[in-house]
Amino acid sequence: MPDRGSACRPAAGLVLALGAMMTLGAAAGGGPRAAPLAPPAGSGALSETTEVVAIEVPVQVVRDGEPVRGLAAADFEVYEGRKRLPLTGFEVLDLRAGQGQAVAAIQPSLRRHFLFLFDLSFSEPKSIVRAREMVRRMLPSLHPSDLVAVATYSSAGGPKLVLGFTSDRRQVLKAIDTLGLPELVDRNTDPLQLVAAEESSSVSGQAAMKALAGDSGGYGALAEGLLIDALKAAAQASDSGNRQQQQAVVGAFTRSFTDLARLLASVHGRKQVIYLSEGFDTSIVHGVERAEDQGKIAEQSIAGEGYLTDSDARYGSTRGANVLEKMMEELRRADCVIQAVDVGGLRAQGDQGPARPSGEGSLFVMAHDTGGELYRNFNDLGAAMGQLLAKSSLTYVLSIQPQELKQDGSYHPLRVALKSGPATRGAQVSYRQGYYAPRPYRQRSAGERQLAVAEAVIGGADRGELRTTVLAAPFAPPGRPEAAAARGTATAGLAGKAYVAVVIETDGASLLNGTAGDVLPVEVYAYAIGAAGEVQDFFSQSLRFELAKVIPLLDRTGLKFFGHLDLPPGDYSLRVLVRNAGNGDYGLSSERLTVPAFDRSPPVLLPPFFAENPGRWLMVRETAKGGEREVPYPFMLGDRAYVPALRPALTAAQEVAVALVGYNLPAGALEARATVLSADGRDLGRGDLTLDGRKPPDEGGAERLTATFRAPRGLEPGEYRLRIALVDAQGVAHDSAARFVVAAPGPRTRG
């Protein structure tokens, strides 16, 4: 991931020539006030409305420790109470089958989720240092499609999500490397936390990061010393004070984990919480301490016979006992399974001073009350959890659609049963034991909203209420890569990376729908995700518009946003999400993006660009960050800058200008051909395309050609695709494509 502070941006003078492009903060000022629009059903104004919601129930079926393969939807039954619910969907992900599906294309509900939760309070610092290294060694044993998150817990700060659920292992390693060292990392610039916080640029910070990354430059002792010093303060709160204070610490712990469970309930799929801790002394809450007794009670709870348990025998009669049981219930409802790892077993005997009171009892209860295991006295986490990884390598996802489901956040227990038959005989089924009804958007916490957007971005596919269209065009940066690297450290990180212009259009009518008040808050996110699930680059921006000033433009067309990414050669899935932050409506667009190695690639022809008519859209460009270097603005027709129209509205026989950009095109005459295709790919015949001019390559190697295009007559109103080919003297065609629409007759058109 590059430091976005050293990224490229278009020259300011050229951007100003675009006209009406602006960077907006909170708008203020006079002007007529717009009448408030009616709030949508999900805005929070109405909490008793009903909604048809698809509920996904991940299920694992195991016999003799191995997944049962080959089951179909007909082998399962789902009940809510005594009512059997019909299945509306059925999907399977088999991690051993090698399905050939790109990691970035697998839906999050099908994937395994692992949250590595480091307990900085109820653990000795050296135990956390070694646990961190153990997790690093475990990561290769996970499947590439697995989503991994990293979090910490401390008595002072509660649970903190360091990194959200991602398949990018580089980001996971970065999050682990900076664990417990907040003073050495900058504030995370990624609001979705799919990218870990950037390292500090200070000299001491760089030395610490090298040490933590395992550099052989003699920093190993420094790394361990820095980390241990940072962790000591977090651990002190749980080790000091009288019994009453320690009970307060445990009470804060249980309440924090209850809140964490409620947050994780918004994440689809079963969450395996790998809890790395030494636990707390269960005698603090006057409960049973012997593991054998705890096991009997835990088994009753898992079997749904918790009513047979004497709560005094389990937790004692303290107030903390009720809070602890509430925590367990919330974890089960959130489909969180605690895999408790006693990191105290990693220590060499006596290497950390006086022994702590045993926390094994608390770890045992947390694991077994949620269906997990307690792992102790080992050093290879991947091997220890081998059975868990094997049993969870096959997931069936059952979809149901409860009718007349109220948006009140209520919990609905579920039961999944296997139909009797040879394929299911002797099998055990593990499943999500219930779901929460949706709540109005405005009643959800900021953390829940963040996780929902992150999950949508990771999931991909076009979805949402807002119609969002995206154009991504890669341009070679000026000069050769080695020349860019020679210009200094500020730009060396961009050597060999393309400047990828990203233009986003969002339909204004859908963006305005349900907006209440005088301000329209909008959030824009763009992530480039590689085939292995890694996030190569991203940008995000929050905007606030005064409705009275922007309604005329938004109602006519919509919002057009210009940003950019810096990407090395390769194939990507570009995920762009635009959200109305006031009511939660969003639009997600997923586009395939190929960035060529311009200096050694075969001929490349970028999509044909049509100039946007000025004044039609509310136009905004990304905010420039400090230290960004300027690059020539890429969209030019001769000496005139323009903004490309993503869905230009044309009429039959109308002649329009087209800008073409190519790299490594063959010398000599080129024949231009244009073919019009229907939205479903049918060939509708040729259009007229005439080349008007061709400029020699610029500093970045881009050749700019100008042309005119005339669509064939007789096209009905609707959306079409234009395929353009430049044919060289050897008859080789170099082609690209773009979308356009034929507008219906009338005074108004939508772009």
Which part of the chain is CATH 2.60.40.10?
1-46+462-634, 647-751
Q: Report the alpha-carbon distance of residue 326 to residue 94 in Å, rounded.
A: 34
Which of 418-427, 467-476, 482-491, 618-627 has the lowest average pLDDT?
A: 482-491
Tell me whether residue 372 is exposed, middle or buried, using C-beta atoms within 10 angstroms of its C-beta: 0 to 12, 13 to 18, 19 or more.
buried
- Given a contact cutoff of 8 angstroms between Cβ atoms, the answer to whether 613 and 643 are in contact is no
Dihedral sign, CA of 24, 29, 30, 34? Answer: positive
Q: Report the alpha-carbon distance of residue 667 to residue 601 in Å, rounded.
A: 16
Q: Report the alpha-carbon distance of residue 264 to residue 638 in Å, rounded.
A: 53
Which part of the chain is CATH 3.40.50.410?
110-391
Give the pLDDT mean for 576-584: 96
> What integer pLDDT is reported at residue 232 of this predicted model?
61
Region at 350 (left for phi over 0; alpha for psi -120 to 50; beta for the rest): left
Q: Which of 315, 298, 375 minimizes the C-alpha distance to 344? A: 375
pLDDT score of 712 more than 50: yes
pLDDT tens digits, one per residue of 492-516: 456 689 999 999 999 999 999 988 8
Give the pLDDT mean for 262-283: 90
Fold classification of 1-46+462-634 is Immunoglobulin-like (2.60.40)
pLDDT score of 729 more than 80: yes
User: In the structure, what pLDDT confidence band is assigned to residue 378 with cuts at 50, 70 and 90?
Assistant: confident
Which of 454-458, 636-640, 671-675, 691-695 has the lowest average pLDDT?
A: 636-640
Count of beta carbons in the 10 Å neighbourhood of residue 511: 27
pLDDT tens digits, one per residue of 157-194: 889 999 999 999 999 999 998 886 655 555 668 899 99
- Given a contact cutoff of 8 angstroms between Cβ atoms, the answer to whether 192 and 542 are in contact is no
What ranges in 195-242 are assigned the alpha helix state H?
203-212, 220-239
- Relative orientation angle of helices 169-177 and 125-138, to the nearest 10 degrees: 170
Average pLDDT along the chain: 80
pLDDT score of 485 more than 60: no
Residue 488 carries which side chain, given as an amino acid letter? G
Per DSSP, the three-state class of 693 is: strand
Q: Report the alpha-carbon distance of residue 709 to residue 688 in Å, rounded.
A: 6
Which of 435-439, 538-542, 696-700 has the lowest average pLDDT?
A: 696-700
pLDDT tens digits, one per residue of 631-672: 788 998 878 899 999 999 887 778 899 999 999 999 888 999
Q: What CATH number does domain 110-391 carry, 3.30.360.10, 3.40.462.20, 3.40.50.410, 3.40.50.300?
A: 3.40.50.410
> What CATH number labels 647-751?
2.60.40.10
What ranges in 602-669 are assigned the alpha helix state H?
none
First to last CA, the chain: 34
Q: Which helix (H) or strand (E) holds 620?
A: strand 618-621
> What integer pLDDT is reported at residue 698 of this predicted model?
86
> What integer pLDDT is reported at residue 479 of this predicted model?
63
pLDDT score of 594 more than 80: yes
User: In the structure, what pLDDT confidence band is assigned to residue 569 with cuts at 50, 70 and 90?
Assistant: very high
> What integer pLDDT is reported at residue 346 of this predicted model?
54
Q: Report the alpha-carbon distance of residue 304 to residue 264 in Å, rounded.
A: 22
Which of 114-123, 187-196, 508-517, 564-573 has the lowest average pLDDT?
A: 187-196
> What integer pLDDT is reported at residue 357 of this predicted model?
62
- Given a contact cutoff of 8 angstroms between Cβ atoms, the answer to whether 639 and 706 are in contact is no
Q: For 471, phi and psi rounded to 5 degrees? A: -125, 125
Cα radius of gyration (the chain): 29
Count of beta carbons in the 10 Å neighbourhood of residue 630: 15
pLDDT score of 405 more than 60: yes
User: In the structure, what pLDDT confidence band is assigned to residue 458 with cuts at 50, 70 and 90?
Assistant: very high
Q: For 270, phi and psi rounded to 5 degrees? A: -75, 135
pLDDT tens digits, one per residue of 209-246: 444 444 433 335 545 555 555 566 555 555 545 567 77
Q: Which residue has the higher pLDDT, 82 or 50?
A: 82
- Most confident stretch, 280-289, 322-331, 332-341: 332-341
Q: Report the alpha-carbon distance of residue 147 to residue 112 in Å, rounded.
A: 6
> What integer pLDDT is reported at residue 299 of this predicted model?
64
Q: Any residues with CB less than 8 A from the CB of 174 and at least 6 apart, and which?
A: 163, 196, 199
Q: Report the alpha-carbon distance of residue 176 to residue 165 in Å, rounded.
A: 14
The token duo for 395 is 């997931």
pLDDT score of 31 more than 60: no
Which of 26-40, 255-269, 273-287, 488-502 has the lowest average pLDDT?
A: 26-40
Percent share of the chain, pLDDT over 70: 74
Return the percent helix, strand and coil in the chain, to nearest 5.
25, 35, 40
Per DSSP, the three-state class of 297 is: helix
